A and B are shown apart, each in its own frame.
Chain A
Amino acid sequence: MEEKRVLLEYADQINPESAADYIKVGGYKGLEKARAMQKKDLIDEVKKSGLRGRGGAGFNAGMKWSFVPQDAPVKYVVCNLDEGEPGTYKDRIICEKNAQALLEGMAICGAAIGSDQGYIYCRGEYPFVVELLKNAVKSAKDAGALGDFDIEVRMGAGAYVCGEETALIESIEGHRGEPRFKPPFPGVAGLWAAPTVVNNVETFACLPYILVNGAEWFAGIGAAKYPGTKVLTLTGDINNPTYFEVPTDYKLRDVIYKLGGGIKNGKKFKAVQVGGTSGAFIPEENLDTQIDFDSMGAIGAALGSGAVLVLDETRDIVDTVARITKFFEHESCGKCNPCREGTFRMCEMLHKVNEGKASEKDLENILRLAKVMRKASLCGLGQAAPIPVESTIKHFKYEYMRKLV
């Protein structure tokens, strides 16, 4: 099987900052078309394409836009470029290869909801992407490609939780990046309490192509319920640790063995974690699953950010998960009790297991805590933090058992 490049079709062939380059390969035609449409028709078109958020929740983009009250005087389009999931860098790649498509996508969203102000919130780890995007915005503005639509680029400062849309909004407002409770959802009261659409880079970048080629074209690519392509980033014990754009009906096994070139150093496969550090660990037996949102959901995993971390047979699962719990302990914002204290204690207990000091009782406590974190945390961070723990205890329990006292 081959890649299917939509977003990355002209990767390395055009200057991503240059609106002129982008226009040469057909750019900004989608926006032109969008602006000629009635808002409702535009939203319907996007709905019809079946485009779903390429971030965490996989929500239908057009549907999300339709919740925005049309009569609000001020509305915002916010791009989430805070891809903090370890092992993920696809949004960076999209920006580095095709930044103008992102800008065009945001402007299309602006046209749909009636907003003339966009924000891109770029993670602090990517200062060079911030520069690139600022140049790209200038180029597009100078070329008149964006019309009245303005885009401001803001830089985060090292907080994974800001990938959560309401935390991201808080951060743009200059606050601590603590998630808000929902409702109200950003579509109703988001940035500076105005209706706000937050989508990630990949979602926005799909829009020009949907507009140009039509909703049906897009809906026909990949999995029916989660159509389009997905950019994946492969890391870990894999021969080709790089990025790929694939249709969403691609199978996990093919990602690893075809595109990824199989396990490094001729070793055997042990597990793969998809969707970044908050994803579930998937054993060999589930490798024939399609990568689309729903298929992954069916095996208790998630496509998430599209990060694919492959572990070979020699890897110590408990050690890896212990490290992952440290990540969440470090990145919890501290607002809600289950996450602030839970990530801390989870990390403590996992390290206890990893150091061979834990008992079966501890393992019970770990599962008890995991369940409550998943059900009781305020935002997705705390809800997802225990997933790697639970999924590995489910699929690789023997690795834990052998470390108990």
Chain B
Amino acid sequence: MANYMDLIASQKNTKGGIIEAFHAIQKEYNYIPREALTAAAKAFGMSEAKAYGVATFYSYLSVEKRGKYIIRMCESAPCHVAGADEVIKAIEKYLGIKTGETTADGKYTLELTECIGQCQATPVITVNSEPIFNVSPEKIPEILSAYK
């Protein structure tokens, strides 16, 4: 795993690039650990409180530890009318967790997302930002079992 200091340093010359640094950290850690946030704040000349404010503003950034696979269910109107609610229920049932939670083994985190712009194939979920199209409750076990 890359050291967060290196990840921050890689973005150091990106003007205002703390969000880019957060992306780089999240790619490795799946969330932004506290020490990493503090270090990023310092590197970008921002107070820790402000950096925390930035990190908590954006849905795709998290300051809390998350699973290895982050499953996001789109629930915007096009997916909603295509049956997103039923898919969410199926995922919750399959993983045994509620939306917003992480499985006990630390493998999966289930989140809701707004539209991910793949509306040609609703409903859509993403696993670690990779979209999976035309999902249905029945397909869920097969889809998720591929992520070990």
Contacts and interface: CB of A to CB of B under 8 A. Distances in A.
Interface of A: 83-89, 92, 123-127, 152, 154-160, 171-177, 192, 233, 235-237, 241-243, 273, 277, 307, 309, 311, 315, 320, 323-324, 326-327, 330-331, 333
Interface of B: 14-20, 22-23, 44, 46, 50, 53-54, 57-61, 75-82, 113-122, 126, 129
A323 B59 contact: no
A315 B80 CA distance: 11
A315 B77 CA distance: 12
Given A84-B114, A177-B58, A242-B120, A154 B19 contact: yes
B20 A86 contact: no
A281 B54 CA distance: 34
Contacts of A315: 81
Nearest to B60: A158
B77 A324 contact: yes
Nearest to B61: A157
Given A155-B19, A173-B16, A125 B116 contact: yes
Contacts of A124: 23, 58, 60
A327 B77 contact: yes
14 contacts: A84-B115, A86-B115, A87-B77, A87-B119, A123-B117, A126-B117, A152-B14, A154-B17, A158-B113, A158-B114, A177-B57, A233-B120, A236-B82, A320-B81
B18 A174 contact: yes
Nearest to A129: B117
B20 A154 contact: yes
Contacts of B17: 154, 174
A25 to B, nearest CB: 25
Nearest to A130: B23
A84 B23 CA distance: 19
